[in-house]
Amino acid sequence: MNAREFARHIDHTLLRPDATEKDILRLCEEAKLYGFASACVASCWVGLARDRLRGSNVKACCVVGFPLGSEIYHAKAFEAREAVHAGAEEIDVVMNIGYFKSGRTDYVRMELEEIIAASKGATVKVIIETCYLTDAEKVEAARLARDAGAPYVKTSTGYGSMGATVEDVRLIKKEVPGIMIKASGGIRTYEDAKRLLDAGATRIGTSSAVKIMEELKALQAPK
């Protein structure tokens, strides 16, 4: 695919705790310049991002329950609802991994359903933090997300011990029909992103989006 098509698969991301207003505005300008799918920020920056992205095709995306996912679900649902009110069009929410690994799947399902309902009008991606899960748990978590009504599952916050892998994308793609996959965590080069898209990912989340696009443009430049 050409550079513009490739960019539409990327969520340009800035989730550093020390990110400033100037940094967020730059992220949004870069997202518009390259034509990324979204600019992904913390919920406190959604209003600013939405204002700066207005008139473009770039969506405002924000994380909820980030990066641990261990807040009580009412708090996560409230954050999601407020983010949508502020202009978020996509919500990336961290699943409660500790409850999931404790076998409290009914709670996790209820939590996800509540958050998805609170995010009405926005696309929800459920972050399952694959580095903490066995293969069987990855499949079960992705199924929970799908059955709760989320169109996407996301591999990682980027704050775990490991990020996205081709093997995890292929596993979820094969075992959980109907769920789209956002590969995120440790994606720093064009080759990283391309391998994950080729494996079946629909979206790439990365803070290295500009670097990736410049690598792609260099590869596609006439010799």
User: Dihedral, CA atoms, 154, 85, 77, 165, nearest 10 degrees?
Assistant: 10
| DSSP 8-state secondary structure symbol assigned to residue 201 | -
Cα–Cα distance for residue pair 76/111, rounded to 1 Å: 9
Q: Which member of 59, 76, 138, 154 is catalytic?
A: 154
DSSP state of 128: -
Please check whether residue 155 is in contact with residue 182, taking contact to mean a CB–CB distance below 8 angstroms: yes
The token pair at 195 is 């391998």
* Catalytic residue (choose from 11, 76, 92, 138): 92
Query: CA–CA distance from 223 to each of 186, 219, 220 (Å)?
Result: 30, 9, 9
- Whether 125 sits among the annotated catalytic residues: the reply is no
What is the Cα–Cα distance from 195 to 158, expressed in whole angstroms? 18
Q: Residue 91: what residue type?
A: I
Would you call 101 a catalytic residue per the annotation?
A: no
Which single residue is written with the structure tokens 């502020």? 86
Residue 217 is a catalytic residue: no
Out of 59, 76, 125, 182, the active site residue is 182
The residues assigned a catalytic role are 92, 154, 182
